[in-house]
Every structure is written in structure tokens, then in C-alpha cells.
Structure 1
Amino acid sequence: MSDMKNIIDKLDKDDLNHLTPLFENYDKKNFDDFFLSLGSKRSKELLNLLLKIKTIINNNSFEIEVFLFYLCIENPYLVNLLFFDKDTHICSDEEEHNCFDGPIPTIDQQFEKIKKSLKLFLENDSSKIKY
């Protein structure tokens, strides 16, 4: 988790970073609160998936995933956009929908979407790596 916080700190403090406005309200406590809400077992699952991305794929991919993860912690609605799950998303009518239409995703829904996305990312990208 310290690697994740270091990445967010780096993005937050980088004067040349065009993403700096996204970190105006950055609070390390939000990370801690999110993981406390998840509980020990599920926190370890997410951290292990992120660590696998860092070690198996590369550090740049890890940093991108941590950044997306951070955005979802700051605004839980974004989990519906950034970790879109076409299997669970149902739009049977002709109306337009967006990720902000429904209720705020629960911590369980956030966990499941992020976990599924990280697993798919690992499966897709690690299959391209030649050993």
C-alpha cells in the first residue's frame, strides 16, 4: 500500500503534472478508510492484484491502475465508468444512461468491479508476455 500512496504523492506534488487539479483535495486518510471498509481479506486481494500488475507486467501499468483506483476512491460513481462491467450493466430500454444515474455503488460493488477489472487486465496483458 505504501507504493500506491507514493504514486499518488508523486502525482500530487509534481508541478509539471497536468493532473494536479485532481489532487487538490487529496487526503491519505481516504485510502486508509477505503481499505478499512473493505476488511483485511478483501484489501489483501486488491493489493495482491495490484502488486502482480507491478511485478508481472510493469511499473507504468501499476501506476495507471493505482491512479484509476484513486479516482474511484475519491468519487465512487467513477467505478461504474472506469471499471465498467458489461455483464452486470443492464439497459433494456431505449433511454440513454450514464454511470452517474444510479445510486452510489456500495463498497462491495466497488470491490467486485475493481477486482474483476484487475484480474482481466492481468489475464490479458500477462498472456502477451514472453517468458
Structure 2
Amino acid sequence: MKKKIIILLPIIFIGISAILINQTRSTRNDYRENLETSTSVELSAFEQLQKATNKELIDLGEALISFVHFDDVNAATVTTETKDITFPLTVTDPELNNFSIETLIASPESFIIGDTFGLATDQSGEFYYYPLIN
């Protein structure tokens, strides 16, 4: 009888240990999966624009409306780090010097001189607006 107990006790101990280890491992894996799915990476404004347009865009970075010519030409000069780009504009409120740039895709309805925003372009030369988040 003592020999049976000496043989059965380690087998029972090993069996119970294996069950407990398996349960804690599955609990740990479930917790890890929940943690990974709950922490999602937030896309930048440029990445959101690129996803929304479903095009490969080139980020030109921060752009500043540096000069606006209201008289004959109705044009706004937008300055980036590397170049100046001129866009045709439409005056929306002459008293407040508000204007819109309709050729700038996804832009707001009105701008003023000195506004800054993100500027992107695609392969065909179209320009895209995205907000800068500070």
C-alpha cells in the first residue's frame, strides 16, 4: 500500500500542476490579446488624409499663406520649407480678408493671411490640405 501511495502522489501532483499551468497560461494569453486589441495606434492627420483619398501622397510639411494678391490676379502664395506655390483664390469676405482656395483639395471654406496647415501632393500634381495638430 505504501508503494502505491509513493507512486500515486507524484503522478497526482504532476497532473494537478499541469492543469494549473495550462489555465494560467490561457488566462495570460487572453489578457495579452485583449490588451493588444484595446491599444490602437492613432493615425496622424497626413496618414488619415492618405487613407481617405486612397492615394500615395507626398507630404510637403507645414505650409504658410504668406502673400495674397486681391486686386487683379486673386492669388494666394503658400510657402513651404522648400518652395512657394501660388493658388487661385475666391474672396469670401472682403471686409475680413477671408478667401477660399478651391483647388486645394479637402480645404476649409475660408482662410486668412498667415494661416498654417499641412500640405501634400500626389503624382498628378494636385494639392491636398490637412490640419496641423499641435
Q: Structure 2 length normalisation: TM-score?
A: 0.23
**Which of 1 and 2 has higher RCO (CA within 8 Å, sep 6+)?**
1
Query: Where is the helix percentage greater, Structure 1 or Structure 2?
Result: 1
Query: Where is the strand percentage greater, Structure 1 or Structure 2?
Result: 2
